[in-house]
């Protein structure tokens, strides 16, 4: 998924969808960046766990760009796609879109990020990824 990714013209399903609530905002009335970052991490882990066929741990946030503020009531859709696979690691791109203004709906990209996860065993030790199915 590149910068030209448009969710409403894609057959992809979001990894996560959520609506921020009043408890999720800072003193300016915008959603906390940390709240959004935690949900990006959750969304990115969905395809990582699927590819790893088991537990993963976040090892790096390679990039994270806040493009627009997020507001209470925005319906956020998080699209996550594996972009690189190593021996133990999986890199995932996450694109977040907000559907806002129900009377005159618009969809805007609010965040994009790239995270790296590592496959781990039941003791939390790094493990090799299984072969692709």
- State the pLDDT confidence band at 5, using cuts at 50, 70 and 90: low
pTM for this prediction: 0.90
Query: What letter does residue 30 receive in the DSSP assignment?
Result: S
Coil, strand, or helix at residue 53?
Answer: coil
Query: What letter does residue 87 receive in the DSSP assignment?
Result: S
pLDDT tens across 54-88, in order? 999 999 999 999 999 999 999 999 999 999 999 99
Q: Which of 61, 63, 92, 66 has its CA nearest to residue 79? A: 92
85 strand-pairing partners: 90
**Whether 24 contacts 72, CB under 8 Å:** yes
The pLDDT assigned to 121 comes to 97
Ranges 12-16, 42-46, 95-99: which has the least confidence: 12-16
């Amino acid at each position: 998924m590149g910068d030209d990714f448009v969710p409403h013209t894609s057959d992809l399903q979001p990894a996560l969808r959520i609506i921020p609530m009043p408890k999720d905002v800072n003193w300016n009335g915008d959603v906390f960046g940390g709240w959004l970052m935690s949900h990006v991490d959750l969304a990115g882990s969905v395809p990582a766990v699927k590819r790893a066929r088991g537990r993963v741990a976040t090892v790096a946030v390679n990039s994270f760009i806040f493009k627009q503020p997020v507001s209470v009531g925005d319906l956020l859709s998080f699209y996550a796609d594996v972009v690189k696979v190593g021996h133990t690691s999986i890199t995932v791109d996450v694109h977040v879109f907000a559907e806002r203004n129900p009377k005159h709906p618009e969809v805007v990209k609010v965040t994009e990020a790239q995270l790296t996860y590592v496959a781990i065993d039941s003791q939390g030790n790094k493990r090799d990824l299984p072969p692709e199915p």
